[in-house]
Structures are given as structure tokens and as C-alpha cells.
Amino acid sequence: MGIQDLQTFLENEGVGVDLFRIARNHAGGFRLVLDAEGCLDRLYGGYFSDWACGGQWARCVQFLTTLAQALAEHQVALCVCFNGAHPTPPALPHHWIQTQATYRQRVNSVLRHIATKGTPPPKVWWVPPMGLHSCLRTALRYLNIPIMVSSDDHCQEVVGLCREKTYAGLVGCSGEYLVFQPPRYFSSSQLKLTYRSSLETKEYMVHELPQVLEVPQDRLCLMAALLGGTILSELSLTDFYKRLGITPKKQVPPETLVKAVCQYVRELPSSDVDAACIDVFGDLNDLRAAKLKQAVQYYLNGTKDGFLKYRTASGRRPKNNKKNQKPDLSPQGTSADLDTSKLAAESSEHEQKGLDDYKLATANASINADFSMEERAVEIQHGVAAISLDSGDAGAAKQQAISPADKNEKPQITVKETRPNIKPAHNEDNCPPAPAEVLRTCAERHARGLMHPHMLSILTHRQVTLPVLMEDDNHREIPSIHHFFRSVRQNVYAILYNMHHHRFMAQKAKEEGATSTSTNADRPCTVQIAEWIYSRVNPGKSPEIVPGVVLDWPVPTVQRLWFGTAQDDKCRRMRAFLSCMRSDTPLMLNTSYVPQHLLILATVLRFIMTSQIQILRRQELDAFLATAFSNDLMNALHLQEMTVNGINSRGVQLGALVMAGAEAALLANDACGAPVPWLVAAPWLYFDGKLLQRNLHRANHCKHLAQLCDNHLDTVVKVERMRKAILEGLEVEFAMPPLPLVAGVVGSGLGGALGGRGRRGARASRSPASWWASGAAAATRARAALPAGELRRLHSAAAQRVRRARLARARGGRGRGARAARRRGARPRPRSHAPDARAATRTSPLNPLRSPSTGRL
């Protein structure tokens, strides 16, 4: 239920169109705004059955390259918009919690399907792979396709961009866009690039919406508000729906809800909102009445007549009055001599080095003709240059023609920090706001898609929302991924808010004997961030308050990290990034051990190995490295035709773990001033989920590393050298392999306690992979890891089975074995009651003629 039901209700009203054919009738090109949140699966390249394996990034980039070339050939310009708006306090929107709950159900279904059948899941359970947004932003930036990331209200900013830059239409799938009535509205969920060189979708005649719904134009916003949405939820309208004969607890068809609300609005005596509030809620002083008027105004702000009066918290907001602004409490002395107009990492030298490293990484890759991004970059650039694009909404503005007047004109963005309306039990957040130049730079880069979306949320709201991942909700084998990488985020919080600098200045003032009237003077500076994580224990009801943690060395201020141009600043940026990832070792920066394009992967794997929780097995670590060095990593056609046998839930969760670590590494990289160039941090340079699952399956059956690397000795050497760099200075302790059964002791209880394997699963796990780890040592560690009560129960059960067997033998074949033999028609073997009869028939393994009991021949 909700405003999205309006989009579902009008799906059949759409008319099939070809965007390329429409573009032929537009002189100067056909310019569209694309809401990427409604077509993530389409931008991923359509549906692939192996999306659950972690992401096929080479195939994704191949599709985007083909799409960019087709757009340039047919004079169609797209500005792709991503949702970077943080849900506003005091509470998360209800629809975000519903979305996460839906994703959680799908993930559980996917993992259950993989565990039982071992095959890829069906399309109906599709969930965006971890890292999809970062991959899309990086690929689109490289292909010179403009990007816009919202910061306050996604739908309002998208439709505002469409109207301000005079785009010809909007491509999306939200019911709010229908009410906003853009110039032309196309369906993003139906977007399809065909082999006939056509871009097909559906067009909704939004200007005929009042005639279709039989609702006057001036009451359309009231009808949309009564359907329920972010401001006024469906739960608040329960009593109103009951008056219409609708029971919200039951599954209500969208057609029933929309027609009932339209009939009610149509029969109102006037279009006055106050009169509607009294009729719906009975009292104008009701809190829900205020929300209803706010919701109506929200939809009015998005229409053609009302959008000019609306301004968001992004760059389109008018300048705030300087009288109301608080004085900047940040240390200005550290940034007075720095150029804060752009990051120091945005220099031409740094960008050229990143481009050279990218070309070196892809030089020896077997990339087919459809994936030759290097050769097509110039063609796409010339095609896009022929279309008049405003430089304000271009993601890669440096490659597009900009007039001299536009070069000197900078967007005036004023960002003010908003503290969350959350009162934890022990509020120790006494850290000053982030510096003004840091907030301004972050807002500018956020809007152009040049920075991780969590950065602006951390700096302005001190909150962050973390999505549901492809992981087991019970965390049997792998711990909670978001909690596992929390220490990286804690270091990021401390860096962004200059915790080390504030503590140093406070300690210095204390030593000098300075007195302060502040109540927080005795407490060290600490910043606390509210992390919203949807889980079974806490389904979005309250955030987890996480404090920032400073690094173990004097980190420079965030101004120096971002804007410092000295050689020492460059070294400190890289050291700060490596320290966040627990990878500050000499070999990590040695490109002969760790190539530049594999630095992100190497830091993530080392972070996993430094944890006190043993997660990776040795063969799994080698499988990740073999995937990164594989010659087929970027061969999209080969990966598409390749079949993978034996997909298991552990491999799927390991892929999600590493990609989540890559996202945390990208966040730390942006917080430290981007020491790793954005192009060499692309995920398709080191990861492919389908290839990883194949290598994980082969690693459990290969006898040596060369067999895993297809007998390529150069790849074996690269894997061993990078493994040495990852494990440098560590006391390596890998995770336990699947345990073999110990006769008479290990049953279904031990197997279930150590990874959910029963007796059958333990037998099936035996493989020639014993050269990677010792099964006996692993079994010993497994018994030590069991609780004392569980271990005693297992030994008691084993002893009871032994007593039953002895009693059956003492009865002379009257036990269960004898009865089973009679059922088979066989005669039970007579048993002797002589004490040395069995001993005499056994032989010693060292001497077949010596009895093990007596030692006599």
C-alpha cells in the first residue's frame, strides 16, 4: 500500500516506445534524467543467474559500455541520478524499514535455495549485489556519463533537476513522479537495450492522469497524500481506510485502494485542504492533520508551478543568512595556507598516474571487443559533446567543454550539520562540528558522485544507514559483516572529526594550566555516530551508537589530509588509509608484491586475516588471489558462458564479505583524501563473483596451487608473493576446514555445532584439500571450542552406545544387529563368551602375527 500503488495501478496504461526513435525527432539531441534506483537490475546488465555470487562486474561494465556507445550514436544524453539522501531524523521512514525487511526475506530464501539445491536462485529474489552503486558510479564516471547524487530528498531533487536543466523527460518508477507530472515520464523498470539497436520502454501520459483517475487537477496532490507515503504513513491512515471499507491488515489490491481514494476525493465538496483534514481526522488540531497538509505541500512542491518555491538542502537551497550561522569552531590555522577549492588528489599528476595504472592493469587482460573501454572512450566523448549538456550536472566535467564564465563560477553550497534527535543512555558526544571547508567540499563532491555517499551523512547528520547483505541471519559460519568492519568506520569517524587534533589541543591547554568553563573539558573529545542496521534482533527500531576510535599515531587534521600538497602529506594520506585497514606494512606498498589495482583487495584480505575470528581457510584465500590474477577476470564473454558447479552458501557469503570490505575500504580512502586513485579502485579489476565461486569449488579438490591457477606458473608466483604481503608479520591461523567424522564421537550434534553440517555433510566434505590444513588439528581445536556441557553430552552419548554394543554381544546376538540380520535372511554370527577369543582373532598393525592385547605371537 502507499503511493507506489499508483504506479502499479497505471502499469497497463503505459505505451511502448523506442527512445532512440523519439530522439530522431529532436534537433540537438534527446536529453533525459534517469533515476537509477528504479532500474539497478537493468544497469547491472539485465538478469544474470549468478548475481548472488557477489557480482559480475566485468559483465556489468561491458553492458554500460555498450549502452554508452548506443546513446552517443543516437544522440541521447542521460544524467543518471543515485539516491544519496539520508533518511531524516527523528525516525527512519517506514518505507526504508519495509524495503530492508523485504530484502532480508529474499536473502533468506536465496541462501536456503543455494543450501538445498546448489543452483543459482530465481529472478524473483533479486537483491542488488554489494558494491553495485560504487561500481556503477565508477563506470559511468569513466564513460563520461553525467551523474547526480541526491542529498536531501531524492524524488524532489530528481524532478527539480529535470525542470531546472530543461530536460525533455524523466525515466523512473516511483509513484511520486506521476503526481509531479514531469514533461515526459518513462518507465525505468521496463527499460531494455535490444539487439535491434533500440532502447525500449513504456511512456506514461502523465498530463492525462486527471482524466484517467477522474480526479480534478487541483485535488491530485490531496489524493496522493491520502494514499500514504513518507510523511503520512499508511499506518496513520488506518481509520480512514476502514471508513472506505478497506482493511489494511489484509493484502489490498492496488486497484481497490486507488479507486476508493479517488472516489472519496472526487466527492469532496471543495478542494480546501483544511476541510479535508477535518473530514478525514475529525479535528484540525490532530497531529495527523498537520502531516496531511505537509504531504499535500510536498507534492505541490514537485509540480511545474510549485517547484520554483521549493529548495532542498543541496546546492539549490538559497544562501543562508550569515547572521544565523554559528561561528566555525574548527582549527583554521591548519588550513589557512591550503587550497580548499579541490582535493589535492585531484591534481593532473595524480589523475594521470591513476590512468596509467589502470591501463597497466588492463593491458594483459583478455577483453573482448565489446569491452574495449579504452578505444571507445574517445568515440563516446565525441558523441556526447555534440549534445548540449549543462556543466552543472556533469559527473566528469573536466572532459567536457566549459565556458570561461562557468569555470570561475562555483556553486554556492552551504551545508550545516544537524545533530540526530537521539538520546542514548550515556551521551558522550562532545566533539565540535566538522570544518566548514570540509563540509563544503564533501557536499560538492557528493552531488557529482565523486565521493562515497556515507561521507555526507556522517558529516551532516552523524548517522549512517547500512543495507541488508547476502549473509545468514544466524551467522553460523561468518560473523555479522557490518559489525565485522565496524572498526574501519570507527577510525573514519575519528579522522573526519579531527578527534586526535582536538585531544592534543585539550591536553596541551591542560598542561599550560589554561582554565575552561566548559563542562566537557575533563572528558576527551569523542564523536558518536548512529548506525542503523536492520537485523533480526533490531529491525530498524533504534540505532547503535558507535564512538570514533583514533589511530595509534598522530594523524594530521582532515584539512591537511584532503588539501595538503606536500610530499609528506601524500605519505600520510596513504599511511592513514593503510592504518584504517590494519595494513600498514612495507610489502603492502611494494608493487612487485601488491599491484596498484589490487591494493584494495589486499587490504581487505589482510583486515580479515588480522581478526581474532578465523574466517578464511587457506584454500579460500588462494581462491581470492587466483581470481584477482586470472586471465579470464575481464573476459566477459568467457565468464558468461562458463558454468559453475557446486555453489554453496559459504562461498556466497564470502563474496559478500569481501565486497563489503571493499566498500569500507573505499569509505576510508575518501576520508583520508583519496590516496588510491578512483580508477584503480574499480571492483572489476580484482573481483568477479562467478569466477570466485568456480575457484572456491576447485580449491577444495585441487592437490596444489598450480592446479588452481590452471598450471600458469607466473600466476602461481604472483599469488604466492601477494599472499606473503598479506600475511606479513602475522601469526597465521586459518579457519577450520570441514571436519571429518570421528568414529563414535562426532555425530549430528558436533556437525551442527560447527557449521550446520550433519553426518552426511561431514562425509561429503572429505577432499584432497588436506594439503591446505590438517584435519586432526582442526578436530582438536573444534573439541576445544565446544562448551563444556556439550562436550560432556557427546562423550556420554558415545559411552552409552558402547555399553549397548557390549550388552548386545553379551546376549549372544540378540541386539539390533542380530535382528537386522534375521530380516535380511542371514544367520547371526555366533559369538564366543571366552575373554580372549576376540583378542586372538585380532592382529597388530605393526606385526600381523602379533596379538595387540597379549603381545604374543
Average pLDDT estimate for 784-804: 66
Contact (CB, 8 A) for 374 and 362: yes
The number of C-alpha atoms within 13 Å of 265 and in the hemisphere containing its C-beta is 26
Question: What's residue 638's pLDDT?
Answer: 87
Closest CA to 532 of 487, 475, 468, 480: 468
Give the Cα separation of 625 and 337 in Å (integer): 43
Give the Cα separation of 164 and 10 in Å (integer): 27
Whether the predicted pLDDT of 410 surpasses 70: no
Calculate the dihedral angle through the C-alpha atoms of 427, 432, 438, 440, rounding to the nearest 10 degrees: 90
Whether the predicted pLDDT of 610 surpasses 90: yes
- DSSP string covering 516-557: ---TTTTSPP--EEEEEEB-SSSBSSSPEEEE----SS-PPP
The most distant pair of C-alpha atoms in the chain lies apart, rounded to whole Å, by 111
Question: What's residue 788's pLDDT?
Answer: 56
Q: Which three cell numbers stand for residue 418?
A: 544537524
Mean pLDDT is lowest, of 39-48, 143-152, 838-847, for 838-847
Query: Which band of pLDDT confidence, cut at 50, 70 and 90, is reported for residue 123?
Result: confident
Question: What's residue 522's pLDDT?
Answer: 63
Give the Cα separation of 462 and 651 in Å (integer): 34
SS3 category, 428: coil
Parallel, antiparallel, or unpaired for β 528-533 and 544-547? antiparallel
Give the Cα separation of 826 and 814 in Å (integer): 14
Question: What's residue 836's pLDDT?
Answer: 44
The share of the chain scoring above pLDDT 90, in percent, equals 46
Degrees, nearest 5: CA angle 845-849-851? 70
Contact (CB, 8 A) for 495 and 671: yes
Whether the predicted pLDDT of 462 surpasses 50: yes
Give the Cα separation of 338 and 475 in Å (integer): 47
Average pLDDT estimate for 246-263: 85
pLDDT in tens, 93-113: 677 888 899 999 999 999 999
The share of the chain scoring above pLDDT 70, in percent, equals 74
Give the Cα separation of 155 and 7 in Å (integer): 14
Give the Cα separation of 531 and 528 in Å (integer): 9
Taken in order of first residue, the domains within the chain and their CATH numbers are: 4-320 (3.40.50.1010), 415-514+521-726 (no CATH), 748-810 (no CATH), 831-857 (no CATH)
Question: What's residue 196's pLDDT?
Answer: 85
Give the Cα separation of 465 and 481 in Å (integer): 14
Whether the predicted pLDDT of 72 surpasses 50: yes
Query: Which band of pLDDT confidence, cut at 50, 70 and 90, is reported for residue 248?
Result: low
Q: In the 8-state DSSP scheme, what is residue 194?
A: -
Residue 437, beta-bridge partner list: none
Q: What is the mean pLDDT of the chain?
A: 79
Q: Which three cell numbers stand for residue 278?
A: 477535518
Give the Cα separation of 118 and 419 in Å (integer): 47
Please classify residue 348 by burial: count the beta carbons closer than 10 Å to its beta carbon, then call 0-12 exposed, 13-18 middle and 19+ buried. exposed
- The single residue listed with the C-alpha cell 537521539 is 422
Q: Is-cis flag, bond preceding 90, omega within 30?
A: yes
Average pLDDT estimate for 650-672: 95
Round to the nearest angstrom and report the end-to-end CA distance of the chain.
85
- The single residue listed with the C-alpha cell 578527534 is 499
Query: Which band of pLDDT confidence, cut at 50, 70 and 90, is reported for residue 599?
Result: very high
Question: What's residue 86's pLDDT?
Answer: 74
Average pLDDT estimate for 596-619: 94
SS3 category, 302: helix
Closest CA to 353 of 679, 130, 605: 679
Whether the predicted pLDDT of 423 surpasses 50: no
162-167 contacts, C-beta under 8 A, 24 or more apart:
162/33, 163/304, 163/307, 164/316, 165/31, 165/79, 165/390, 165/392, 165/393, 166/31, 167/31, 167/32, 167/33, 167/79
Question: What's residue 703's pLDDT?
Answer: 85
Give the Cα separation of 748 and 676 in Å (integer): 48
Whether the predicted pLDDT of 415 surpasses 60: no
Whether the predicted pLDDT of 621 surpasses 80: yes
Closest CA to 522 of 539, 501, 533, 506: 506
Mean pLDDT is lowest, of 214-218, 325-329, 530-534, for 325-329
